[in-house]
Amino acid sequence: MIVDCAHYQDGRRSTQDPASIEDAAARSRDGGFVWLGLFEPGIAELKEVREAFGLHELAVEDALVAHRRPKMDSYADGNVRLIILRTARYDDDLEEVDFGTISVFLAPTFIISVRRGAASELREARLRLENRSELMMDAGSASALWAILDVVVDSYAPVVTEVERDIDQIEATVFSGAVAPTERIYSLRREATDFYRAVHPLLAVVSSVERMVPGELKPYLHDVNDNLLIVNEEVAAQRDTLGSVLEANMAVITVEQTRVNIRQNATIEQLTILATVFLPLTFITGFFGQNFRWLVDHVEGLPEFLAFGIGGLIIPLILLFLWLRSHRRRIAETSTVPGS
């Protein structure tokens, strides 16, 4: 779909109404340059553009592919350059970075931008360009490429800010001793890594563009490169920070699991002691609960009941207590380090 198609000459837009592809190609041969903007075009539409502007078929095929890394290629003996850019926009609700792609065909008489993805709006780029008529007159179509690069790099700053805010929330959770969702940390680190892959290769692209543009445009490209360097450093730091946070969160999870295990062991120890105490009592009670003739004949009053019944329960408890005390003493002596 054609978003806008305009002819620029003498530092201004010659017409306000968008031109057709055929008219734009014809005007590009009359001086000045044409900026054709397309959004998610189909194969047939790109074929029409290729035939009208004489683009290389391999360059058009590149514009149909969703690239993961920015790059720059030359076609037609260097007269036409293809620059692939990746745009980014942060979805705070999903904590995901929405990526888009902008394929730019640059020639002295035209510039064609092919956008894919919602995060690739270029309206601001046209406004910046049209507000700098002197720059258009001096640099021609390269000035439009600067406007696109400037908008794309500026759009990275809000993404860095939003990711940094989520990282601060996770850090506050982890370093307070609480357990943060590991899936959230891993997902955010993956988004930061993808963002780094979109930003870091663009440094080489911007440097190459800076070398080939006219002198009047070099300070503007240098400013774009400086902003991109700042973003690149911040994204790399965020990726490393998330790696450290992930390791710290795993340590917190390990400590929490250790605490749970200790509580479980203490509970099991208490249950074991209770079972140990009641085991001989249950045995004695069960033994005397049998109707042996001797037992029935000899337990006829309170003294016999106290001797055989209560005494039969107290004596095993005393013996068990002495045995446990001796056992703990031996464990303490074994665990004592000599010379400490």
C-alpha 23/C-alpha 119 separation (Å) is 29
What ranges do the domains of the chain cover? 2-253, 255-335
Amino acid at 254: T
For range 64-91, the mean pLDDT: 85
Provide CATH code, domain 2-253: 3.30.460.20
E strand or H helix that includes residue 218: helix 218-288
pLDDT in tens, 236-261: 999 898 888 888 777 777 777 777 78
C-alpha 104/C-alpha 120 separation (Å) is 12
CB–CB of 104/112 below 8 Å?
A: yes
Handedness of CA 220, 224, 225, 226 (dihedral sign): positive
C-alpha 76/C-alpha 84 separation (Å) is 17
For range 48-61, the mean pLDDT: 87
DSSP-based helix, strand, coil % in the chain, nearest 5: 65, 15, 20
Other Cβ atoms closer than 10 A to 3: 17
C-alpha 219/C-alpha 43 separation (Å) is 37
pLDDT higher than 60, residue 337: no
E strand or H helix that includes residue 87: strand 80-91
For residues 90 and 62, the model is more confident at 90
